[in-house]
Amino acid sequence: MTTNEPDWVSRLADEVIAAAHARDPGGVIVCASGLSPSGPIHLGNLREVMVPHLVADEIRSRGVACEHILSWDDYDRFRKVPGGIEGLEGWERHIGRPLTSVPPPPGSAHESWADHFRAPMQEAMRVLGITVREISQTEMYTSGAYTDRVLVAMERRRDIDAILGRYRTKEAPGDEDDDADEAARAAAEGSGAAAEDDGSAGVGYYPFKPYCAACGTDLTTVTAYDDATTRLDYTCACGHGNSVLLRDHPPGKLVWKVDWPMRWAFEGVDFEPSGVDHQSPGSSFVVGGELVGPVFGGHQPIGPMYAFVGIKGMAKMSSSRGGVPTPADALDVMEPPLLRWLYARRKPSQSFQVAFDAEIQRMYDEWDALGRRVAIGQAQSGEAAAHRRAAATADGPLPVTPHPLPYRALASVVDVTGGDEDQMLRILRGLDPDAPLASLDDARPRLDRARAWVERYVPEDDRTHVREQPDEALLASLDDAQRTALTLLADGLDDDWTLDGLTTLVYGVPKRMAGLDVAERKVPPEVKAAQRDLFALVYRLVVGRDTGPRLPTLLLCLDPGRVRLLLGRG
C-alpha cells in the first residue's frame, strides 16, 4: 500500500521553501540550472536541468511562487574543436572566442555555435514539459546588466584572491590520471565549470577576463587596473594591446569561480544542484559559497551534488566529444514520461544508466508494471511519487499513448514485418483482442518510438528474418520426441490465435508431453528445460537461429499456414 513518506523531491522542496522564506517570506523562490552550448548537450547535462525542474515543479504544485531559470553559458570561450562533427577543418582559429561569436558547424541553419547546440535542447525541454526562463550570458554581459557587480569584483580582487589562495594548494587537477579524475573532467565539459583559470597571473590577480578587440579571443592578460577610473589595460597573445574603461562594459566576463557566485546574488538563487566536479575542496561551488556573501551580498543556494548519468556500454559522456547521446536521441526511442521517470526515481546522488540497447525493453516493462501498481494503489510512496512526476507537471499531464501496448511486443512486430503498416495493424489487433486497436494511431507515439529503436539501434545481424522455406536438413535430423512436440504445436495453432492463446500453447506442449495440465504453473526443472529446448528448435526452424523475438509474438506475426510449413507440418 502507498504511504505518505516524502520522496527526495518533496524533501528538497521542503528544505528550499524553509530556507528561502526565512530570508524573504512570501518572495519568489528561484531554482537555477546552467548549461554551456559548447557541443551536443547530452543526457548527463539533462540532470542539471531535471533536478531543479522537479523541485521547482513540486514547489509550484503547492501554490508557492517559484521560478526555474536556465542560464545559457554562451559567453564561455570556445575551448577546443570537438570530434565527431564533420567539416570543422580550420575551426581551431576560433578557440578562445565566445560561443556566440563562433560560426555553427557547416550546413547548420543557426547563426552561431551556441545557437546550433542550444536549439535541440530547447526542443527537448518543450517535449519533456520543462518550463524555464532562459538567460543568455552573452546578452547579460554585453548589455551591461552585470557591470556594477563586475566593478565590485575588481575592487575586491585582493579579498577574492585571498579566499581563492586558501584552496589553490588543495587543487590538483590532472595530477592523477585515474578513471574518477577523467570522469570528473569529462563531466565538467559543457557544465560552465570548464577548466578556466581563476584570474591568477604573474602581474597580479584580476577576476575579469577581457575578450580582445582585435582577434576576439580571451587569450588576454590584464596588466593594470585603476579603481578610480575603471581603466583596464590588457595585452593579447595575438600581439594586440588595449586600454578600456570597464564601466563601459567592454567585451569580457568574470572568471568562472567569481562569475557563478555573482550570478547567485544577481538572480537571488535559492536552489541549484551541481555535478561532482563542483563539489570538491577548492571547487567552484565551495569557493563560491565563501565569495557570494562578503563580496556580492548574496547567499549560497542549497546545492546538492548530482552523480553521473551513463549510457549502457559507455563509462562517461562528454559534451565536447562527438557521438554522445542527447535528450533528443533518447526521445526518438522513448516517450517523454519514461525519460522523465529515469531521472525522477533516482536521488541526485545516485548514478544511473540510460539504455539504448535491448535493455530499453526491460525499462519499459518496469514502467508499465509501475503504472499498473499505481492504478490499483499498490505502489510504494516513493515509486508512486516518481510516476506522478514523470507523467505530469504542475501545468498538467504529459501526452500519452492512447493504447500503450508492450514496447517489446511493438518492437518485435516492427522487426518481423519490416514496418509494413497493414501487417502491423493486423498483428497488433491480436495482441489485445478484448480491446483491439481501431488504428495504428492508437498505439502512437509508443509504436513510432519502438520502430525508431529497431531501425537505429538493432544491428542488422540481430534483426529477425523469417525463413522462406523449411529447413529440410534440420527437420530430417529430429528425433521422435521433437517431432511429437512440433506436431502438438502445429495442431494447436488454430485453437486460439491470440497472444495469450499462443503463449499457453508454446509453454503447454512440454507440459502435455510430461503428463501435466497445461494450466499448471509450477513445473519441474526437466519440463522447464524441455520448454527451452522446444523454443530453441522453433526459432531455428522459423528464423534460422537459437533466439529471436518473444516466441508467441513471433508466431502471431506470421500466419498458421506459414508456421506449419516451417515446422514441417504444412
Which H, E and C letters describe 17-37, residue by residue? HHHHHHHCCCCCEEEEEEECC
pLDDT for 197: 65
pLDDT for 168: 76
pLDDT for 282: 76
From the DSSP assignment, how many helices (H) and strands (E) are in the chain?
A: 22, 14
How far is Cα of residue 367 from the mean position of the Cα atoms in its chain?
17
How far apart CA 77 and CA 89 sit, in angstroms, is: 19
- 143, three cell numbers: 548589455
Q: Mean per-residue pLDDT for 516-536?
A: 92
pLDDT for 191: 40
Among 4-8, 196-200, 396-400, 464-468, the range scoring the smallest mean pLDDT is: 196-200
Q: Mean per-residue pLDDT for 461-476?
A: 93
What's the 3-state SS for 379-406?
Answer: CCHHHHHHHHHHHEECCEECCCCCCCCC
Contact 102, 88 (CB under 8 A): no
Nearest to 31 by CA among 140, 131, 137: 131
* Residue in the block written with cell 589562495: 165
- 414, three cell numbers: 516492427
- Most confident range (mean pLDDT) of 203-207, 260-264, 501-505 is 260-264
Q: Mean per-residue pLDDT for 134-160?
A: 97
pTM of the model: 0.88
Contact 184, 277 (CB under 8 A): yes
Nearest to 336 by CA among 264, 257, 250, 400: 400
**Would you say the C-alpha torsion 373, 376, 382, 385 has a positive or negative sign?**
positive
Nearest to 541 by CA among 470, 462, 450, 456: 470
Q: Mean per-residue pLDDT for 282-287?
A: 88
Phi and psi at 25, nearest 5°, equal -55, 125
User: 416 versus 317: which is more confidently predicted?
Assistant: 416
Quote the percentage of the chain above a pLDDT of 70: 92
Cβ neighbours for 239, distance < 8 A, ≥ 6 positions apart? none
Cβ neighbours for 267, distance < 8 A, ≥ 6 positions apart? 30, 32, 69, 135
pLDDT band at 170 (very low <50, low <70, confident <90, very high): low
The DSSP call for residue 311 is E
Q: Which helix H or strand E contains 245, and what residues bound it?
A: strand 241-245
Return the bridge partners of 252, or none. 210
pLDDT for 321: 47
Strands 305-306 and 274-275: parallel
Q: Mean per-residue pLDDT for 126-131?
A: 98
pLDDT for 176: 39
Q: What's the mean pLDDT when you consider all of the chain?
A: 90
Q: Mean per-residue pLDDT for 56-74?
A: 98
Strands 66-72 and 29-35: parallel
Q: Mean per-residue pLDDT for 234-250?
A: 96
How far apart CA 411 and CA 362 sit, in angstroms, is: 12
119-123: long-range contacts at Cβ-Cβ below 8 A with a sequence spacing of 24 or more? Answer: 120/40, 120/41, 120/326, 120/327, 120/328, 121/35, 121/37, 121/41, 121/45, 121/326, 121/327, 121/328, 123/328
